[in-house]
Amino acid sequence: MSKEIERKFLVKAGVDPALLGGEAVVMVQAYLSTDPRATVRVRIAGDRAKLTVKGLNNGIERDEWEYPIPTADAREMIARCASDKAIVIEKTRFKVGRWEVDKYDGALAGLVVAEIELTDGDEKIELPDWVGREVSGDVRYYNSVLADKGMPTSEV
């Protein structure tokens, strides 16, 4: 088991992540469970696939277990096991230094989110000028909630 410590931000309107540089990887993912106590996700990123279980958030930290699986198995899980009401998340991830910038497609088109993994919950980071409002604690922007509920429509 490992710990995931991550902060999440909206990317400012009009910023094209493809112009920020860095490698781009197309991803497709679906949730087999969106229970906040243990979300279970299957993801295909490029030609690799993983099954991930994440524990309940404690601020910006949570337990995470991640395992490589055959890509064919991942495709089958997405096709057969994802809930009928769930959105299959489609996005392109751009690696920009330590940042991962996700530009969503499909039902979530228009949403662009930047995440940074931290080594410590108190780690200080410098925000690039293209980073907007922080949404780390806003459950509406958890990928499992986006898959279950769709695009956030109201402000908290």
- Per-residue pLDDT reduced to its tens digit, 70-97: 999 999 999 987 767 678 999 999 999 9
67 is catalytic: no
Write the DSSP symbol of residue 151: S
pTM: 0.91
Residue 155 in domain: no
What distances in angstroms separate CA 115 from CA 39, 84, 112, 149, one per listed residue?
A: 18, 28, 10, 20
- Per-residue pLDDT reduced to its tens digit, 94-136: 999 999 999 999 999 999 999 999 998 889 999 999 999 999 9
Number of domain units in the chain:
1
Helices (H), 1-156: 71-81, 143-149
Residue 29, domain CATH = 2.40.320.10
Cβ-proximal residues to 11 (8 Å cutoff; 6+ apart), any chain: 17, 101, 112, 113, 114, 130, 131, 132
Residue 104 in domain: yes
Residue 27 in domain: yes
Q: Which residues pair with 53 in a beta bridge?
A: 40, 65
Nearest to 10 by CA among 103, 120, 145: 103
Residue 21 in domain: yes
Residue 154 in domain: no
- Tell me if 41 sits within 8 A of 29, measured CB to CB: yes
Question: What residues make up the domain containing 57?
Answer: 2-149
Phi then psi for residue 16, to 5 deg, are -95, 115
